Structure 1
Amino acid sequence: MPIAVPPPWRTVVISPHFDDAALSLAGLLPTLPGPLAVVTVHGGSPAPGLPVSGWDALCGFSSPVEAYRARRAEDARSCELLGAEQVLVDHPDGPYVGEGDEPAGLDPLLRSLAPGTRVLVPLATNQPDHEAVRLRTRRVLAAAGAPEPWVYADLPYT
């Protein structure tokens, strides 16, 4: 469903996961034209009852929902410190979605951006979630006639 009023953002950072924008762009974000939004594509809660992923267990979490809540709160705080609005796409992280499940919730947001909005996407050289987000963002923006996004080095992968 299209968004009735375009968001007021002048800069939008597409962050595949909660930590990607802060880890990769913390020094740059405060210098970009605002209002600014960090859009976390894998920002949705995992379904209840799923087993904890190996990564989340290694980080000390006992459930996917516990990991999600902690990471969402950490992301909210980093967005606050960086002067960005936190925007979450309702799509769970990779270990908690089905094979081939694409983050289609990003599409209406991208199509609703005002002309001239600067969009930043990850380079995504060796992380499949990041590559899928970059390719989808570029495809939707191109179909909308928007300019090519800026590409950032997504740390620590690039």
Structure 2
Amino acid sequence: MAFITDQATALPDGYRHIVLSPHLDDAALSCGGFIARMTAAGERVLVVNVCSGIPSAQAGFSAFAQSLHERWALPPSSVVAHRRVEDAAALGVLGADALLLPELDAIYRCPDVYADEVSLFATPIADDPLIDAVVRLTTTLVERYPHATFYVPLAVGMHVDHQLVFAAATSVLQAADVRYGYYEDFPYARQPSAVEQRLAMIGRKHYAPRYVPLDEALLQVKITAISAYSSQLNVLFGGAAAMPAAVTEYAARIAFPAMRYAERQWVRV
């Protein structure tokens, strides 16, 4: 059973891999196969769910947030609580632990700014408070786990929360003597040329791919984990039935020759 806490001081020692997940599903979606591979080998993995804070229902929700709640088929008063339960189930399948942070999703954090699909996938505002929060978090984790490898979203798809986690964590990790890399944000990475477009934005020549081979068993573990996010499958894949094929197709598409399936990470060179 996954160890889940909202208190960083309660975390045990010994994590070899730390995945920064902007939302309560990004780690499983983007690197679930890698996580399963590491935990099966006996290596401890910590997933840090950055935007997992519970918004106050008394404050009300924007029209955009309400429309998303309807698409997720979740009651507004318990959206994040429900998604935390989904994530716990997924991480239980993968064998990873989780740290839940109190930061709010963009649609709750800055509802007047990130008020529609366009603004949610555009340039974040300069004074977004998530930046400082991720800097503090990453600094704390680097000091606590100097021998761990960190995994950060590449921000394919340009969701503002992914961009902010990418930028803030990178600023800390580049200055620290630790290992780190970037994972491809799935399912955004499925879109034609999406990964290359993102790499072009941040300087393609500075990054090289690192492949994580997946066999049938690991791929199935990833699919099983993703299936736990029942509220998100319609929005992300058009329904639960379409999800396994989408995950399998991308894992086969990016696989390096001699691999059947893979996930792909990117490292600075």
TM-score range (shorter-chain normalised) is: 0.7 to 0.9
In structure 2, the partner of 1:39 is 48
State yes or no: 1:124 paired with 2:155.
yes
Alpha-carbon RMSD: 2.4
Asked if structure 1 preserves the Cα contact closer than 8 Å seen for 2:106 and 2:160, the reply is no
Asked if structure 2 preserves the Cα contact closer than 8 Å seen for 1:6 and 1:113, the reply is no
> Per chain length, whose mean CA-contact separation is higher, i.e. which structure has more relative contact order (CA < 8 Å, sep 6+)?
1
In structure 2, the partner of 1:140 is 172
Provide the C-alpha distance between the structure 2 equivalents of 1:127 and 1:111, rounded to a whole number of angstroms: 25
Q: Secondary structure of 1:151's match?
A: strand
2:94 to 82, 93, 99: 82
TM-score (norm 2): 0.52
In structure 1, the partner of 2:205 is none
Provide the C-alpha distance between the structure 2 equivalents of 1:4 and 1:143, rounded to a whole number of angstroms: 26
In structure 2, do the counterparts of structure 1 residues 5 and 130 end up closer, same or farther at CA, with 3 Å as the change threshold? closer
Tell me, which stretches of 5 or more residues in structure 1 are unaligned?
A: none
**Which 10-residue stretch deviates more, 78-87 or 98-107?**
98-107
Once the 2 structures are TM-superposed, how far is the Cα of residue 21 of structure 1 from its aligned partner?
A: 0.8
Provide the C-alpha distance between the structure 2 equivalents of 1:114 and 1:61, rounded to a whole number of angstroms: 36
1:153 to 184, 187, 190: 184
Once the 2 structures are TM-superposed, how far is the Cα of residue 113 of structure 1 from its aligned partner?
A: 3.3
Provide the C-alpha distance between the structure 1 equivalents of 2:36 and 2:22, rounded to a whole number of angstroms: 20
Provide the C-alpha distance between the structure 2 equivalents of 1:127 and 1:80, rounded to a whole number of angstroms: 26
Instruction: Give the structure with the higher percent helix.
Output: 2
Superposition map of 1:83-102 within 5 A: 83-98=95-110, 100-102=128-130
- Identity within the alignment, %: 32
Asked if structure 2 preserves the Cα contact closer than 8 Å seen for 1:3 and 1:112, the reply is no
In structure 2, the partner of 1:16 is 22
Provide the C-alpha distance between the structure 2 equivalents of 1:94 and 1:78, rounded to a whole number of angstroms: 23
Larger Rg: 2
Amino acid at match of 1:73: V
In structure 2, do the counterparts of structure 1 residues 5 and 124 end up closer, same or farther at CA, with 3 Å as the change threshold? closer
Provide the C-alpha distance between the structure 2 equivalents of 1:47 and 1:145, rounded to a whole number of angstroms: 39
Amino acid at match of 1:133: V
TM-score (norm 1): 0.85
Amino acid at match of 2:153: P
Tell me, which stretches of 5 or more residues in structure 2 are unaligned?
A: 1-7, 114-127, 190-269
In structure 2, the partner of 1:56 is 69
